[in-house]
Amino acid sequence: MAESHPTPGKDPDASEVRRRVAELLAAYDPARVPREKFLRARFDAGLAWVHFPEGLGGLGAPRALQAVVDAELAAAGAPDNDPRRIGIGLGMAAPTILRYGTEEQKRRFLRPLWTGEEVWCQLFSEPGAGSDLAGLRTRAVREPDSGDWIVDGQKVWTSSAHLARWAILIARTDPDVPKHQGITYFLCDMTDPGVEVRPLRQITGEAEFNEVFLTGVRIPDAHRLGAIGDGWRVAQATLMNERVAIGGMALPREGGMIGPLAAAWRERPELRTPELHDRVLSAWVAAEVVRLSAERVRQQMAAGAPGPEGSGLKLAFARLNQHVSGLEVELMGEEGLRYGDWTMVRPESVDFYGRDAGYRYLRAKGNSIEGGTSEILRNIIAERVLGLPAEPRTDKDVAWKDLPR
């Protein structure tokens, strides 16, 4: 397909985006072209992330035009890139690589990430460094001869590690400085022989999370993201995007947890009581408030990178999901206590809403932990959004090696 470019000096508009979609469909009929080939062509046409730069899956266009692209391609029956399966790559790795990666890193990693040919995971949390992420112990030591980094440590709560080809990883590279200053950010090859992935069975019965052991894992310096010792700043970009990715998902009205509850209320009048009526109505209103707030945050993101406001959105998402899923179980009575399948499986994607009421109730318990605990998010909102005094931190200026274990 011949490349076409927007008019120089002018941002692409909806008509320009539709023209490029039409060109893509004319050259690559989705009914005849293999899925992978179509997705690659879509990326090369700048229709993967329209707000990304040209040559990196985008057009340098306003983010809002992505909805135009998605609608046109869906109407034509074009395949998508299975975003639930590659959500960590799309929502966390890609924006971080775009912001801090070298040109070589962007061109190497973004295309197979978006097409789903390479799944990503996130190696951040550790058994002793969850809420206090900056206290992590995983070490990366640089070899003087090769310049490579040798990584040893353990990570935990790693979604999709059993599927991942690559990981975003933070490790301690200098124990002699305060904990936030001695961290470096890497892109880790999950096929390295020193990487061991073990499943963590959850309360739902499945194992979407894993623990990952790193023993002598070799990472070339070319796979370092950002400057040595600047990993905390790079990781903050990842975490801000993660919170928006979790709490700011685009949903239609009655999308998410509120959908099954509203459907049961309408279709099962025998379950209704006057008291439950008020509670279901209140939950519906709360869900709509969170949905519209998420839309507003996505619109704000069109002007730049996500800020601490995303923490409020993710906090609201977790509280809403836990409240609504509990209300659904209560509404369903004995039927809500049934659990369809507790077989140990290792799913290919994270599913916040699927299966039955019992699954939704149990899975929602993790929403207030993953992507930053609700307690930590309240601190972020208090300090960075509301401007309240920070909590006392006695370890702020102490070298990591001198901190009590």
* Residues taking part in catalysis: 242
- Closest Cα to residue 207, out of 108, 343, 70, 303? 343
How many CB atoms within 10 Å of residue 205? 15
Those residues with Cβ within 8 angstroms of residue 178's Cβ, 6 or more apart along the chain or in another chain:
395, 396, 397, 398, 399, 400
Please tell me the distance from the alpha carbon of residue 281 to that of residue 261, in angstroms, as a whole number: 10
Segments of 195-271 assigned E as strands: 195-200, 209-219, 224-225
Neighbouring C-beta atoms of residue 351, cutoff 10 Å: 15
Distance CA 223, CA 102 (A): 9
Q: Which amino acid is at 320?
A: L
How far is residue 22 from each of residues 67, 190, 366, measured CA to CA in Å? 15, 38, 42
Q: Which amino acid is at 258?
A: I
Q: In angstroms, rounded to a whole number, what is the distance separating the alpha carbons of residues 28 and 256?
A: 33
Q: Which of 184, 212, 57 is nearest to 122 (CA)?
A: 212
CA atoms 263, 266, 268, 271: torsion sign: positive
Which two structure tokens, joined as six digits, stand for 296? Answer: 């507003």
Cβ-contact 151, 253 below 8 angstroms: no
DSSP H or E segment with residue 154: strand 149-155
